[in-house]
Amino acid sequence: MEPVFKRIVLKLSGEALAGDKGTGIDSETIGRIATEIKYVSELGVEVAIVVGGGNFWRGMSAKDMDRTTSDHMGMLGTVMNALALQDALEDMGVITRVQSAIDMKQIAEPYIRRKAVRHLEKGRVVIFAAGSGNPYFSTDTAAALRAAEIEAEVILLAKKGVDGVYDSDPKTNLNAKKFDSLKYIDILNLGLGIMDSTATSLCMDNSIPLIVFGIDKPNNIIDVVLGEKIGTHVKED
Ligand code: GTP
């Protein structure tokens, strides 16, 4: 089977790397995800990854802390995840480049759009760390921003614990209905919590298609790139 995309942004939540442990990084889980990314990259798909940091720190949930400080800590969490992902991928022979939205030159390249695109053209997997570099913005928003900047065809939003977008929380409502497809405006109008409104609006305004799918099932990253109809497909109209 042939891949249906040429250039993708894969958004991995931090929790996706934690496996069943819930926090930190689970080596078996990150190894499994890296294997799927390697497969997709070797199919000739240009892969850029935006990684979250919730397995280390959630900026928004630290109620007693200054929000900006807390978000900065969250960004540092994403850098740890980016380095772990780079390590797992390079261990398998996949050439990667980590670019950070916050300058930390001893650790990672700075984010430079044209350089990121060049890396992708050369078949390297590019991992974007530190979100957008701004507090008050989620890593989902960073994924939307980077996808627009590098002209990715799609954002693949890999979620832990859920396999698509539902009309209510499937963990608490057994009758929750899963959407096969959806418009961005529906996410905003129905208040669906799959992505924050900033990220949703950015995708909507720039017509970036999104596929929300579960990361827990092995091979889902590969299947979605091969065009299998899994998860929920979100489009502008
Ligand atoms: P090309 O110019 O396309 O060949 O890309 P390249 O990434 O191979 O070349 P470059 O000389 O830019 O980088 C060589 C190595 O140094 C790569 O592993 C980069 O990720 C790394 N690197 C480049 N710039 C920086 C930086 O500012 N900080 C850190 N920590 N590493 C960097």
In the predicted structure, residue 13 carries a pLDDT above the cut 90: yes
Beta carbon of 106 within 6 Å of any ligand 1 atom: yes
Residue 62, pLDDT score: 74
User: Which atom belonging to ligand 1 lies closest to the Cα atom of 110?
Assistant: 27
pLDDT confidence bin for 132, thresholds 50/70/90: very high
Burial of 201 (0-12, 13-18, 19+ CB in 10 A): middle
Give the burial string for 160-171 (b: 16+ CB within 10 Å, else e): bebbbbbeeebe
Question: Rounded to two decimals, what is the model's pTM?
Answer: 0.96
User: Which atom belonging to ligand 1 lies closest to the Cα atom of 98?
Assistant: 20
Beta carbon of 105 within 6 Å of any ligand 1 atom: yes
Tell which one of 103, 109, 111 to mutate to probe ligand 1, the residue whose CB is within 8 A of the most ligand atoms.
109
The least confident of 39-48, 53-62, 149-158, 164-173 is 53-62
Residue 236, pLDDT score: 80
In the predicted structure, residue 60 carries a pLDDT above the cut 90: no
In the predicted structure, residue 118 carries a pLDDT above the cut 90: yes
CA 99 to ligand 1 centroid distance, Å: 10
Residue 68, pLDDT score: 94
